[in-house]
Amino acid sequence: MTRFIVDSWAWMEYLQGSSAGAKLRDELNDASNDFLTHAVTLAEIISKVKRRGKDPDIAWKVITSNSKILSADASDSRDVGLLHAETKSKSSNFSLADAFVLSSSKKMSAKVLTGDPDFKGLPGAVMIR
């Protein structure tokens, strides 16, 4: 079994039906895989979908029916803040949402399924671009 945390980049490609999104679809169709999405990622996607004039309820249903939603407690937030500061010093575009995903992937022994260039070269990142 492979455990993946899916980031917003991958989910957006999936929702748009792109060729990169098809790679996520292939992974979703593999019953031996386990999928997680951070609550911060879900909020980011809902915002993007709404701002693009699309139906956020569809995005919500797709993501919540295909992955378990993770949340953060105070201790997680501290760890994420430290990770964000460290990583952002090396990659100026690395977002706080990305830090939640990366931190969760480490704690959950999961790979990050993404195409976001900010994850390129980071341990555990599986690039679908």
Beta-carbon count within 10 A of 25 CB: 12
For the segment 55-82, the average pLDDT, to the nearest whole number, is 96
Q: How confident is the model at residue 91 (pLDDT cuts 50, 70, 90)?
A: confident
Res 129: pLDDT: 83
Do 103 and 3 meet the contact criterion of CB atoms below 8 Å apart? no
Whether pLDDT at 1 is above 90: no
Whether pLDDT at 123 is above 90: no
Number of domains in the chain: 1
Residue-range definition of the domain harbouring residue 53:
2-127
Res 100: pLDDT: 96
Residue 123 maps to which CATH number?
3.40.50.1010
Task: Give the full edge-to-edge strand order of the sheet including 2-6.
Answer: 68-70, 33-38, 2-6, 111-114, 125-127
User: What is the tens place of the pLDDT at every residue in 99-115?
Assistant: 999 999 999 999 999 99
Q: Which of 24, 49, 22 is nearest to 37 (CA)?
A: 24
Express as a percent the part of the chain with pLDDT over 90: 89
Do 110 and 104 meet the contact criterion of CB atoms below 8 Å apart? yes
